[in-house]
C-alpha cells in the first residue's frame, strides 16, 4: 500500500478482513483539503481491489476532531473556478465512499462538522465517542451542504428534524445524535475503537458476497418504488444463491465448522 500524507491506512486487522483508514491532519482538526480528498480517492480505489477486505472503518487521528469539514484556510481567496475544481474532487471522494462495495463504519472521535458530518453520513454504520459533536453549519457560511448533507440526513432521521438541523446550522451531541438515529452507538473515548473493531470483525465473518449484495440491495432499493426494489433484492439473492460460497455455507453448517468464504 502507498504511504499517504493525509491518511493512515492500518492493515493490522487485515487477517480478520478489517481495514482502518485514519484521517491524519489533527493539527487542522482533520479538515478536508484537496490533498486529503485526492488521497482518499486513491486509497478507496486501491482498497476496492483488496481481496481480503470485507469491512472498512473510517476514523481520524487524535481525540478532538473526526473532521471539521472543508479546510477554509485553503479556500480563502479561491476563485469560483478554483472552488468548483476542488469541489469536483470532493464529490468524487464522497461518491466512492458512499458506493464502496463493502460495509463502511465511521468511528467518530470528535467534531464532525459540515463535510465531516457528510462523511459519516456516507458510511453504512456510525459509532461515536461520548464527547463527539456533529452538525451541518453551511447555512452560516452562505452555502449549503454539497456532498450529500441535504439528501443523506433526511434519509437517516425524520425530515422535520433534518430540516431543523440544516436551517439552524446547529450542532448536536453524540447522545442526541443516537436518539435521533444519526448514530448506531455511543461509547467512551477509550471504548470507541475496540467496540467498533469488535462489530467490524463480527460482520467480516459473514459471506463477502452476501455483504456486498445486502449493501447494494439497500442502497439501490431505497431510491425506487417497492416493486422495483424487490426485484433488485431478488437479483442479488440469486447472485448469492448461485455462488460457491452458498454451497460452502450450507456444507459448513452441516459439518458444524466455520465457513471458508472465497467471495465467489
Catalytic residues: 118, 138
The answer to whether 143 and 152 are in contact (CB under 8 A) is: no
| Grid cell at residue 193 | 475503537
* List of residues 6+ apart from 81 with CB closer than 8 A: none
* List of residues 6+ apart from 152 with CB closer than 8 A: 118, 121, 122
SS3 string, 95-131, reads HHHHCCCCCEEEEECCEEECHHHHHHHCCCEEEEECC
* Nearest C-alpha neighbor of 54 from the set 28, 18, 24, 90: 18
DSSP H or E segment with residue 203: helix 189-204
Burial 60-70 (b: 16+ CB within 10 A, else e): bbbeebbbbbb
DSSP H or E segment with residue 60: strand 55-60
Residue 171: alpha-carbon gap to chain centroid? 20
Amino acid at each position: 500500500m502507498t504511504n499517504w500524507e493525509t491518511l493512515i491506512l492500518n492493515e493490522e486487522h487485515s487477517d480478520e478482513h478489517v481495514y482502518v483508514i485514519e484521517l491524519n491532519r489533527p493539527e487542522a482538526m482533520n479538515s478536508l483539503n484537496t490533498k486529503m480528498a485526492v488521497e482518499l480517492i486513491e486509497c478507496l480505489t486501491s482498497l476496492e481491489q483488496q481481496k481480503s477486505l470485507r469491512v472498512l472503518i473510517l476514523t481520524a487521528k487524535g481525540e478532538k476532531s473526526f473532521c471539521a469539514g472543508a479546510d477554509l484556510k485553503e479556500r480563502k481567496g479561491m476563485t469560483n473556478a478554483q472552488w468548483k475544481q476542488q469541489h469536483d474532487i470532493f464529490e468524487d471522494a464522497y461518491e466512492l465512499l458512499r458506493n464502496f462495495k463493502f460495509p463502511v463504519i465511521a468511528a467518530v472521535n470528535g467534531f464532525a462538522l459540515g463535510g465531516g458530518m457528510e462523511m459519516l453520513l456516507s458510511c453504512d454504520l456510525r459509532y461515536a465517542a461520548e464527547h463527539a459533536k456533529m452538525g451541518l453549519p453551511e447555512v452560516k457560511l452562505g452555502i449549503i451542504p454539497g456532498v450529500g448533507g441535504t439528501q443523506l440526513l433526511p434519509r437517516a432521521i425524520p425530515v422535520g428534524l433534518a430540516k431543523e438541523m440544516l436551517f439552524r446550522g446547529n450542532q448536536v451531541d453524540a447522545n442526541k445524535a443516537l436518539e435521533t438515529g444519526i448514530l448506531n452507538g455511543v461509547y467512551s473515548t477509550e471504548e470507541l475503537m475496540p467496540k467498533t473493531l469488535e462489530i467490524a470483525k463480527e460482520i467480516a465473518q459473514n459471506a463477502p458476497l452476501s455483504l456486498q449484495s445486502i449493501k447494494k440491495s439497500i442502497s439501490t432499493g431505497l431510491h425506487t418504488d417497492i416493486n422495483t426494489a424487490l426485484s433488485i433484492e431478488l437479483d442479488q439473492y440469486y447472485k448469492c444463491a448461485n455462488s460457491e460460497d452458498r454451497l460452502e455455507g450450507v456444507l459448513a453448517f452441516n459439518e458444524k465448522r466455520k465457513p471458508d468464504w472465497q467471495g465467489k
